[in-house]
Amino acid sequence: MNRKLQVLIAVLLAWSFMPVKSVTAQTWSQLVTSGSPPTGNNVSNYDATNNRLIVFFPRNSTLASDQVWVLANANGLGGTPTWTQLEPTGTTPMINALATVVYNSKANELIVYGGCSATCSPDLGDVYVLSHANGLGGTPAWSTSSPSTSIPRDGQSAVYDSKTDSMITFGGGGGFWGDDQNDTNVLSPASGTSPTWTTLAPSGGPPGIRQEHTAVYDQTHNRMIIFGGIELISTCCPINASDYNDVWVLSDANGKSGTPEWTQLEPEGTPPPGRSEHSAVYVSAQNTMYVFGGVSWSNSTQTWTYLGDVWKLTNADGLSPTPPRWTQVGQYGTPPGANCAGGIGYDSVNKRIIVFGGTDRYGNFHNLTFILDLTEN
């Protein structure tokens, strides 16, 4: 859960599943893994070349410091999925929650940015780089990046542009209620020791201020797609927060190939309920974004609803002459159920979404791994 909200309204939690009304369906399976990673909210990145899920765990009530774990054979094919904790040298980040993590597969480096300390106040502007992040090729080592300026932020989104070694971020909070943002910042070279932050000035929009949304990246067309999130407006009394279920696309998102422009998509079909702390992946071959889980806040009842639904948005980058369309996906097999703040990855070769950990519908951390098979689609 968002630590700001968790501290203030833990007693207000309510749990339910969303009903399934779908025209397509996919099959879930739970992986039986070797090894035992910790439980807790996490941020995951998938190393497609080596079939490894790289998971960053912020410290929490059971973790004294941040940890990185790697799941080998993460797609459940070709061998026993096995967890290994990395033991990096260097100074370990000390982040409590709401950081973003992107993966530079060419350099095998994990780039960790922002997040918050204590009970998410204040937020952090730190950038850390972990070498040999998949546990192969050498001893992993943490190093501290020194950007030209500091942009403290928590709950932001981040995507990685491998062509220009750029991390593109949007929105996030400033550590307190009522200070959420809707700016777009680019860190480049993101893997370098002295990168530069650039604040973009896109035309169009921008999207409303928010945090804990998702962003996916269309590498081919340099377009960032954001969905959902929440604006934390005031704490008392009653609590005032606003969920989003809108979709925006930022063209020329890395700021290096033209003037960035925000465009709000108007998909056909019934949209998903507003949410935050959900997961999303982009299937480039189909130009489709898949969204899973999250939580939805109700101002009228002052309660959370944990979500376990799956949605897909076709023509997600807005470039196709065919309009984007939302479709809720039916779930066969063994679904994860209601879940938020977990990790996710996508195996494009075998068309498998990998979902790990997070918080279940009862507010409990877990360390289970699930696969959603898209080969039927």
What pLDDT shows up at residue 119? 78
Distances 39 to 80, 356, 364 between C-alpha atoms, Å: 20, 10, 9
Distance CA 334, CA 72 (A): 21
User: Residue 121: its pLDDT value, please?
Assistant: 80
The pLDDT assigned to 22 comes to 41
146 torsion bin: left (phi>0), alpha (psi -120 to 50), beta (else): beta
**What pLDDT is recorded for position 377?**
61
Cβ(271)–Cβ(330) below 8 Å = no
d(CA 122, CA 337): 33
Question: Which parts of the chain have pLDDT scores under 50?
Answer: 1, 3-23
Q: Where are the alpha helices (DSSP H) in the chain?
A: 3-9
Which residue ranges form the domains of the chain, and what is each CATH number? Answer: 3-373 (2.120.10.80)
Amino acid 195: pLDDT: 96
In this predicted structure, what is the pLDDT of residue 15? 34
- CA-nearest of 279, 274, 299, 298 to 289 is 279
With tokens 């993966």, the residue in question is 103
Cβ–Cβ under 8 Å, residues 11 and 5: no
Q: Is 15 left (phi over 0), alpha (psi -120 to 50) or beta?
A: beta
